């Protein structure tokens, strides 16, 4: 989760040696759901002792299969976990030892993975009457998992609360999101407040991905007390932007929620697509530079903060551009052009990795500098989100 990136600075990063990780992979390779790649062994020999930066992303392979790929900071696929359907977001535990990969909406499965242990992934299935929206976040002590879900008969969003402290997961309750179509979720740095972007779009699993309320949709960003579930604050953009579905999110170093939108109004409109929310202030939208106006297809796919939380990246895969923002001032910093580039994750201090639907993994040192394509594993299409897992 993007949230964890800004939070990590406070927790201190747990450093895993590459050998430790790959040794664990070797064990997992015997598990049916997990397969190591041919490169893993050679990288094991070569980079032993390095502190690894590891990433994960959902993918589709050219043979039609889906899974989660584990990548190193060279963009090399070290391991794969097969999924029964298309995945989407990934929540990482605060100690970085576990993650949960969610099905893409309206999926009903999530997979709990302990990548450093010789353990089979554990499948989690949504409750009857609920499906996952593709995102979730751990509590700050790592004992709870909050997953955004659709209560589709009541047409309301909920946060399913799961106890994941043991080896099995139990759903222990749910919290209303005070909106429809909750999509991304983050946890404030102090662990007390859940931030949810309610996309506002009504869907029903029997009608697949059909959007049922575009004329009346009311997206919002809500701040909810994580312990009691009380609503702390709820914000909407100006009524003229009610068709801007607020979906993906990252928290910056100050805890402001940067939210990327997907516009459901006329394609000839050129609305703002990125907005900043806090509990106490009116939301602000950023100004997309004229050169990109109309070139983003009104669609932001991912939002991520760098490790320091002072630069925000927002990808627009349909337009093929990723835009960078100064988190402090809201100023536009620069852009990168990567066809179908969508997944964005913080890499080293200040830098980002961007994954794309054509298999590419690119390294961006600075917003305006030339990107470097690190890898392009044949047959892979990287899904919307790239997540730093260590």
Partner 1 sequence: MRASFLGIVLSVLAVQPAAAADFNDAIDNAIAGYIRPATAQFADSAGKLPEAVQAVCADTSEANLQAFRAAYSATIRDFSRIQFLRFGPLLEEDRLSRLAFLPDPRGIGQRQIRKIYAAKDETALSAATLKEKSVAVQSLTAFDLIAFDKDTNVVLGSADDTREFTCSYAGAIAQNAAQIASAVAADWQDPDGYSKLLLTGGADNDLFRSSQEAMETVYNALTTGITVVKDQDILPALGSSEAKAKPRRVPFSRSANGLVYLSGELAGIKDAVVSMDLIPHLPEENHRALDTLDFEFNNIQNTLSGLKAPIRQTFDGGSYNKLRAVSFTLSSVHYLMTNGMAGPMGLAGGFNALDGD
Contact, 159 vs 194, CB < 8 A? yes
Q: Work out the number of other CB atoms within 10 angstroms of the CB of residue 151.
A: 18
Which position among 18, 105, 130, 235 is part of the footprint of partner 1 (CB under 8 A)? Answer: 105
- Least Å distance, CB 302 to partner 1, is 9
Contact, 108 vs 125, CB < 8 A? yes
Q: Is residue 374 a contact residue for partner 1 (CB under 8 A)?
A: yes
- The Cα–Cα gap between 346 and 55 comes to 9
Which position among 29, 74, 213, 333 is part of the footprint of partner 1 (CB under 8 A)? Answer: 74
Binding mask of the shown chain, residues 156 to 175, with x at each position contacting partner 1 by CB under 8 A: --------------------
Which of positions 14-53 make contact with partner 1 (CB under 8 A)? 38-39, 41-43, 45-46
Which position among 34, 54, 55, 76 is part of the footprint of partner 1 (CB under 8 A)? Answer: 76
How many Cα atoms sit within 13 Å of 229 on the Cβ side? Answer: 12
Piece of 121-129, 157-165, 297-305, 321-329 that binds partner 1 (CB under 8 A): 297-305
Which position among 138, 223, 277, 382 is part of the footprint of partner 1 (CB under 8 A)? Answer: 382
Piece of 4-12, 251-259, 270-278, 354-362 that binds partner 1 (CB under 8 A): 354-362
Contact, 66 vs 82, CB < 8 A? yes
38 vs 128, beta carbon nearer partner 1 = 38
Beta strands in 1-51 (DSSP E): 34-36
Q: Is residue 357 a contact residue for partner 1 (CB under 8 A)?
A: yes
74 vs 109, beta carbon nearer partner 1 = 74
Which position among 255, 375, 387, 390 is part of the footprint of partner 1 (CB under 8 A)? Answer: 375
Provide the token pair at 358.
Answer: 């054509």
- The Cα–Cα gap between 175 and 161 comes to 8
Which position among 142, 318, 332, 334 is part of the footprint of partner 1 (CB under 8 A)? Answer: 318
- The Cα–Cα gap between 146 and 6 comes to 18
- The Cα–Cα gap between 205 and 104 comes to 12
- The Cα–Cα gap between 164 and 187 comes to 17
Which position among 104, 176, 292, 365 is part of the footprint of partner 1 (CB under 8 A)? Answer: 104
- The Cα–Cα gap between 321 and 88 comes to 20
Q: How many residues does the chain have?
A: 390
Binding mask of the shown chain, residues 245 to 284, with x at each position contacting partner 1 by CB under 8 A: --x--------------x----------------------
Binding mask of the shown chain, residues 169 to 208, with x at each position contacting partner 1 by CB under 8 A: --------------x-------------------------
Cis amide linkage into residue 106, ω under 30° from 0: yes
239 vs 291, beta carbon nearer partner 1 = 291
Contacts of the segment 153-157: beta carbons below 8 A, 24+ positions apart: 153/129, 155/180, 155/202, 156/180, 157/133, 157/181, 157/182, 157/196, 157/198
Piece of 5-13, 224-232, 265-273, 379-387 that binds partner 1 (CB under 8 A): 379-387
Residues that bind partner 1 (CB under 8 A): 38-39, 41-43, 45-46, 60, 62-64, 74, 76, 88, 104-105, 134, 183, 209, 247, 262, 297, 299, 301, 317-318, 338-342, 356-360, 369-379, 381-384
């Amino acid at each position: 989760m993007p949230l964890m990136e800004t939070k990590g600075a406070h927790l201190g990063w747990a450093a895993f040696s590459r050998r430790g990780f790959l040794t664990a992979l070797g064990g997992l390779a015997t598990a049916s759901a997990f397969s190591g790649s041919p490169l893993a062994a050679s990288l094991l020999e070569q980079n032993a002792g390095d502190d690894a930066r590891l990433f994960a992303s959902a993918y589709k392979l050219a043979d039609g299969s889906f899974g989660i790929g584990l990548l190193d900071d060279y963009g090399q696929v070290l391991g794969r976990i097969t999924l029964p359907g298309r995945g989407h977001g990934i929540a990482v535990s605060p100690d970085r030892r576990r993650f949960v990969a969610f099905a893409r909406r309206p999926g009903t499965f999530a997979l709990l993975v302990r990548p450093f242990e010789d353990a089979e992934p554990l499948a989690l299935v949504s409750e009857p009457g609920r499906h996952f929206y593709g995102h979730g976040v751990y509590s700050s002590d790592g004992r709870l998992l909050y997953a955004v879900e659709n209560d589709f008969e009541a047409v309301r969003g909920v946060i399913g609360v799961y106890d994941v402290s043991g080896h099995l997961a139990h759903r222990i309750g749910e919290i209303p999101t005070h909106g429809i179509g909750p999509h991304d979720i983050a946890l404030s740095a102090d662990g007390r407040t859940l931030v949810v972007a309610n996309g506002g779009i009504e869907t029903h699993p029997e009608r697949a991905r059909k959007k049922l309320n575009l004329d009346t949709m009311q997206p919002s960003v809500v701040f909810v007390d994580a312990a009691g579930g009380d609503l702390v604050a709820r914000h909407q953009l100006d009524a003229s932007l009610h068709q801007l579905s607020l979906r993906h999110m990252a928290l910056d170093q100050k805890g402001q929620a940067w939210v990327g939108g997907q516009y459901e109004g006329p394609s000839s409109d050129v609305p703002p697509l990125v907005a900043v929310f806090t509990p106490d202030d009116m939301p602000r939208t950023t100004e997309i530079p004229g050169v990109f106006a109309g070139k983003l297809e009104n669609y932001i796919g991912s939002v991520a903060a760098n490790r320091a939380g002072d630069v925000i990246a927002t990808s627009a895969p349909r337009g093929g551009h990723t835009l960078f923002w100064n988190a402090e001032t809201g100023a536009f910093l620069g852009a990168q052009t990567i066809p179908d580039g969508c997944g964005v994750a913080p890499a080293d201090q200040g830098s980002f990795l961007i994954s794309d639907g054509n298999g590419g993994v690119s390294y961006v040192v600075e917003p305006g500098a030339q990107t470097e394509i690190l890898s392009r594993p044949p047959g892979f299409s990287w899904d919307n989100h790239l997540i730093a897992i260590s």
